[in-house]
Amino acid sequence: MAPIIPVVFQAGDAGAWHIERIDAVVGPLLPSAARLSVSSAYTPAPSATPITWTLRGTAGHQRYVERLEKEQLVAVQEALGRVGATNAALIPIRKSDAWWDLAQDERRTIFETRSHHIAASLKYLPAIARRLYHSRDLGEPFDFLTWFEYGPEHAALFEELVVTLRATEEWKYVEREVDIRLRR
């Protein structure tokens, strides 16, 4: 069984990541802030500075990935925290009730068979490291927190990845998406 990895993203005046911009792609925007801290604890440490917003999630077993896809991903993906990966993106996403009303096999069909989410993303690895955190079961305002890290030389590649994924059938079910760009 995969270990459960908690994460807390806190925006405010402190944190290792400088927030360059926050854009609402679909739905309401998150409030602006100067910096973002990322911690791997369910309860963040008390902050000496005001917190503008907090998002929580967990990573664990991969829910829509089949064995061959998992092997392909593991073979090429890099770990987070690489020295040269000074750019990042946090993209919180909430999907519609229509998405969650689908059975798991129906969501998988849209996710990969028709949208080719994993297959299309493979060509962007290892340049872009990523991790998906689940938030829906925690009662958070978003279902997923997608975290990406990449070097400045791969910024155009990351933009291409985002455009590719937003053009899929799967994204028709997104009812809220915020795009937060950062640098370290």
Q: Residue ranges per domain, the chain?
A: 57-183
Backbone angles phi, psi at 100, to 5 degrees: -75, -20
Model pLDDT, residue 136? 95
Question: Is the backbone of residue 165 left (phi > 0), alpha (psi -120 to 50) or beta?
Answer: alpha
- The fold adopted by the segment(s) 57-183 is Alpha-Beta Plaits (3.30.70)
Model pLDDT, residue 115? 83
Upstream peptide bond of 126 is cis (omega within 30 degrees of 0): yes
151 with 85: CB under 8 angstroms? yes
55 has pLDDT over 60 = yes
2 has pLDDT over 90 = no
Q: What is the pTM of this model?
A: 0.90
Average pLDDT over residues 168-178: 96
Which secondary-structure segment (H or E) carries 119? helix 117-122
